[in-house]
Amino acid sequence: MPMKGEGSGVIFRPDGYIVTNDHVVGGFDKVTVVLKDGREFPGKVTRAEDSDIAVVKIDASGLPTLPFADSSKVKPGQFAMAIGAPYGLENSVTIGHVSAVGRENVIPDPMTGVARHYPELIQTDAAINMGNSGGPLIDVDGEVIGINSSIVSPNGGGIGIGFSITSNQARLLAETLISKGKIVRAYLGLVPLDMHDIQKNNLHVNSGALVDSVASELRASRSDIQVAVGRLQEELKKARREVDELRLKLATGGASSSNGDETREVAEGVKVLAREASGLDAAGMRQLSDTLLARIKSGVVVLGRSGDGKVSIIVRTSPDLLKRVPAGQVIKELAPMVGGRGGGKPDMAEGGGNQPEKLAQALEASYQVVERLLTEQAASA
Per the prediction, the chain carries an average pLDDT of 85
pLDDT, residue 252, reads 52
CA distance 303 to 295: 15
Q: What is the DSSP letter of 381?
A: -
Q: Which residues contact 339 (CB under 8 A, 6 or more apart)?
A: 311, 353, 354, 355, 358
CA distance 196 to 264: 48
CA distance 213 to 352: 51
With H, G, I as helix, E, B as strand and everything else as coil, classify residue 196.
coil
pLDDT, residue 121, reads 95
154 vs 375, higher pLDDT: 375
Confidence band, pLDDT 50/70/90 cuts, at residue 249: low
- Average of per-residue pLDDT across 222-250: 71
The percent of residues in the chain predicted with pLDDT above 70, rounded, is 86
- Average of per-residue pLDDT across 231-247: 75
pLDDT, residue 147, reads 96
Q: What is the pLDDT of residues 264-314, one digit of tens each?
A: 998 888 999 998 887 677 877 888 888 888 888 899 999 998 888 899 999
CA distance 211 to 203: 14
Q: Which of the listed ranges 47-61, 102-116, 254-268 does the model predict with the highest average pLDDT?
A: 47-61
Hey, how many other C-beta atoms are within 10 angstroms of the C-beta on 340?
A: 18
Tell me whether strands 299-307 and 270-276 are parallel, antiparallel or unpaired: parallel
- The DSSP-derived string for 51-116 is GTEEEEE-S--S----PBP-GGG--TT-EEEEEE-GGG-TTEEEEEEEEEEEEEEEEE-TTT--EE
Rg of the chain's alpha carbons, rounded to an integer? 24
220 vs 162, higher pLDDT: 162
Q: What is the DSSP letter of 244?
A: H
Per-residue burial over 320-339, b if 16 or more Cβ lie within 10 Å, else e, is: ebeebbbbbbbbbbbbebbb
| Distances 227 to 218, 231, 265, 273 between C-alpha atoms, Å | 11, 6, 41, 38
- Average of per-residue pLDDT across 340-368: 92
pLDDT, residue 255, reads 43
Range of weakest confidence among 20-29, 51-60, 219-228, 358-367: 219-228
Amino acid (one-letter) located at 56:
V
77 Ramachandran zone, left/alpha/beta (phi>0; psi -120 to 50) = left
Confidence band, pLDDT 50/70/90 cuts, at residue 258: very low
pLDDT, residue 13, reads 93
Tell me if residue 117 is catalytic: no
CA distance 267 to 371: 7
Tell me if residue 133 is catalytic: yes
- Residue in 92, 133, 150, 258 annotated catalytic: 133
Q: What is the pLDDT of residues 132-175, one digit of tens each?
A: 999 999 999 999 999 999 888 777 666 789 999 999 999 999 99
Range of weakest confidence among 174-183, 207-216, 241-250: 241-250
Range of weakest confidence among 17-21, 131-135, 223-227, 261-265: 223-227
Residue 215 pLDDT > 70, yes or no? no
Quote the pTM value. 0.55
CA distance 143 to 70: 9
pLDDT, residue 224, reads 66
Confidence band, pLDDT 50/70/90 cuts, at residue 263: confident
Tell me if residue 194 is catalytic: no
- Residue in 23, 51, 149, 306 annotated catalytic: 23
Q: Which residues contact 245 (CB under 8 A, 6 or more apart)?
A: 256
CA distance 305 to 363: 10
CA distance 124 to 137: 9
- Average of per-residue pLDDT across 58-63: 93
- The DSSP-derived string for 4-67 is ------EEEETTTEEEE-HHHHTT-S-EEEE-TTS-EEEEEEEEEGGGTEEEEE-S--S----P
- Average of per-residue pLDDT across 175-180: 92
Residue 110 pLDDT > 90, yes or no? no
- Average of per-residue pLDDT across 334-361: 92
Do residues 122 and 98 make contact, with C-beta atoms less than 8 angstroms apart? yes
Residue 219 pLDDT > 80, yes or no? no
Q: What is the pLDDT of residues 18-56, one digit of tens each?
A: 999 998 998 787 899 999 999 999 999 999 888 899 999
- Residue in 8, 22, 51, 52 annotated catalytic: 52
- Average of per-residue pLDDT across 340-354: 92
Residue 222 pLDDT > 60, yes or no? no
Q: How many helices (H) and strands (E) does the chain have?
A: 7, 19
DSSP percent split of the chain into helix, strand, coil, nearest 5: 30, 35, 35
